[in-house]
Amino acid sequence: MPSLTSMAESILAQAKKLDAYLEAQNLACPSFDDDTLDQLPDELQDERWAFANDVNELKQLSRGATQTTLDCAFSWTDALGLRVVYHYKLANAVPLDGTASYAEIATASGLKEDLCRRFIRLAMGSHVFTEDLETQRVRHTASSRRLVTDQGFSDAVGLEIDELGPASSRLIDVWEKHQQDVAEPDQSAFSMFNETNKPIFAFLASQPERAQRFGGAMRYFTKGESWDLRHILASFDWPSIDQPGAQVIDIGGGNGQISQYLARHTKHVHYIVQDLAHMISQAPSQLPGDLKDRIEFVEHDFFTPQTTEPPAAFVMRYILHNWADKYATRILQNIVPAMRKGTKFLIYEYVLPDRPATDLAGRFGFQMDAIMATIFNAQERTAAEYERVLKGADPRYVVESVCRPEGSTMSIVQVGWMG
Ligand SMILES: C[S@@+](CC[C@H](N)C(=O)[O-])C[C@H]1O[C@@H](n2cnc3c(N)ncnc32)[C@H](O)[C@@H]1O
């Protein structure tokens, strides 16, 4: 480990570079009121995250092992402060550019004044709101203001703090109940917490507001460069299959987002989007007119065998990580009847690194894995785990490559067939 001084010097050099950009652009120094680092151009955002990682590492070293571990143990209290703010919409009770007293916030939100004061002050420890020293009136910070002005951000915070975090409190109970061997989506921690025997999406179907928040949060989390669909173009040689008569089957393709994007970037391929009846009945009406002759929606349950002719390629995005190995194996086995030598099978997923991560970005995969465990009894997988589950489903599956294009969060596992 380098010395504290050399770590601090490296952080200083990074800080100078970021400051220089802000100064050149006449942007204010970052503060809890004004998050100017968000305005850095893409090429400087990587520097910013490297800076944040190094600062975080130095913070943990300076806190020491005991206090850093206790910080983690106490983090539920920070989450609770934010949850109270989110749940009672306390951010909406403070004017965007003014102040409010705790009594005014109580009247507007319906949460008793002393609870407002205690839990807003708890949240202030994470710079969610600030308090004027003299008047003790509450003022927004960049964070609390964004809860009001950015619905996607609010949905993302709400999903984690008011839905998934609380549901995760039952994960160990689920493991203990099923001897740590449970694959059923309707026996998840989410289902146990919500006292339902339905899997998450069936349960949310009867709770439109929560379902809408889930959708809003997913859109928020998958915004930005690293999620751009152009990465799917970079990770496979699409021109090699773009021939007249070629078909691509998009398994569990939902509203056909991937197929629509691919149709716009290929000339000849015909896309078949397979999904369950409720999706297939509404998706075609949302299809742009000029794609109607390129994309077809067909009802197909991926737990039943494919009955189609072998296509040029199968595509499957965000499906396998929703299922434990037992079910992922069945999904993969049901594709076998339509696999032939030369058929490509492209699995588009987050691929977990095969090593632990302490950097802030690298931890994302393990956080996703915890979410998959909580809501589906499922998991994220490493490249080796994708290979294992594919080979377990049928030894004729061959993993040809696992590619994460530069700048992409997601990877493509390219699978062939040894027929
Ligand atoms: C996370 S979404 C992914 C949608 C799409 N692949 C995409 O990337 O935009 C999962 C999809 O799987 C579909 N699905 C769930 N169970 C299915 C089944 N048994 N057969 C076919 N599709 C299913 C859902 O309706 C949903 O559209």
For ligand 1, is residue 323 a contact (CB within 6 Å)?
no
- Checking if the pLDDT of 43 tops 90, the result is no
- Checking if the pLDDT of 157 tops 90, the result is yes
The residue assigned the tokens 């909406």 is 92
For ligand 1, is residue 249 a contact (CB within 6 Å)?
no
For ligand 1, is residue 258 a contact (CB within 6 Å)?
yes
Q: How far, in Å, is the centroid of ligand 1 from the Cα of 360?
A: 29
State pLDDT tens for residues 218-235: 999 999 889 999 999 998
- The residue-averaged pLDDT of 31-38 equals 94
- Checking if the pLDDT of 131 tops 90, the result is yes
pLDDT of residue 261: 96
Predicted complex ipTM exceeds 0.85: yes
Runs of H (alpha helix) within 239-382: 257-264, 277-282, 325-333, 364-376
- The residue-averaged pLDDT of 52-61 equals 97
> In this structure, what DSSP letter does residue 309 have?
P
Q: Extract the tokens encoding 222.
A: 């998958």
State the closest ligand 1 atom to the C-alpha of 303, by its place in the atom list counted from 1.
19
For ligand 1, is residue 302 a contact (CB within 6 Å)?
yes
216-248 burial, b at 16+ Cβ within 10 Å, e below that, comes to bbeebbeeeeeebbebbeebbebeebbeeebbb
From CA 382, how far away is CA 390, in angstroms rounded? Answer: 12
59-98 burial, b at 16+ Cβ within 10 Å, e below that, comes to ebeeeeeeeeeeeeeeeeeeeebbbbbbebebbebbeeee
Instruction: Return mean pLDDT, the chain.
Output: 96
- Checking if the pLDDT of 139 tops 90, the result is yes
From CA 387, how far away is CA 368, in angstroms rounded? Answer: 20
For ligand 1, is residue 275 a contact (CB within 6 Å)?
yes
pLDDT of residue 361: 85
- The residue-averaged pLDDT of 51-59 equals 97
pLDDT above 70: percentage of residues in the chain: 100
159-168 burial, b at 16+ Cβ within 10 Å, e below that, comes to bbbbbbbbbb
Of 378, 369, 401, 399, the C-alpha closest to 387 is 399
Nearest alpha carbon, ligand 1 atom 18:
301
State the closest ligand 1 atom to the C-alpha of 278, by its place in the atom list counted from 1.
25
Q: Extract the tokens encoding 369.
A: 């894995």
Nearest alpha carbon, ligand 1 atom 14:
252
- By DSSP bridging, strand 247-251 and strand 270-275 are parallel
For ligand 1, is residue 29 a contact (CB within 6 Å)?
no
Pocket probe for ligand 1: among 314, 319, 346, the residue whose CB has the most ligand atoms within 8 Å is: 319
Q: How far, in Å, is the centroid of ligand 1 from the Cα of 82?
A: 32
From CA 120, how far away is CA 6, in angstroms rounded? Answer: 38
From CA 410, how far away is CA 319, in angstroms rounded? Answer: 13
Give helix then strand counts, H and E, for the chain: 17, 12
Start-to-end CA span in the chain (Å):
51
- Checking if the pLDDT of 419 tops 90, the result is no
- The residue-averaged pLDDT of 362-378 equals 96
Q: Extract the tokens encoding 98.
A: 């003014």
- Checking if the pLDDT of 399 tops 90, the result is yes
Longest Cα–Cα distance in the chain: 77
Phi and psi angles of residue 235, each rounded to the nearest 5 degrees, phi first: -100, 5
pLDDT of residue 1: 85
The residue assigned the tokens 């100064």 is 23
CB 258 within 8 A of CB 249: no
From CA 259, how far away is CA 222, in angstroms rounded? Answer: 17
Confidence of residue 396 (pLDDT cuts 50, 70, 90): very high
- By DSSP bridging, strand 344-349 and strand 411-417 are antiparallel
From CA 346, how far away is CA 4, in angstroms rounded? Answer: 46
Q: How far, in Å, is the centroid of ligand 1 from the Cα of 352?
A: 21
State pLDDT tens for residues 266-313: 999 999 999 999 899 988 898 999 999 999 999 999 999 999 999 999
From CA 129, how far away is CA 355, in angstroms rounded? Answer: 37
From CA 161, how far away is CA 210, in angstroms rounded? Answer: 13
CB 174 within 8 A of CB 377: yes
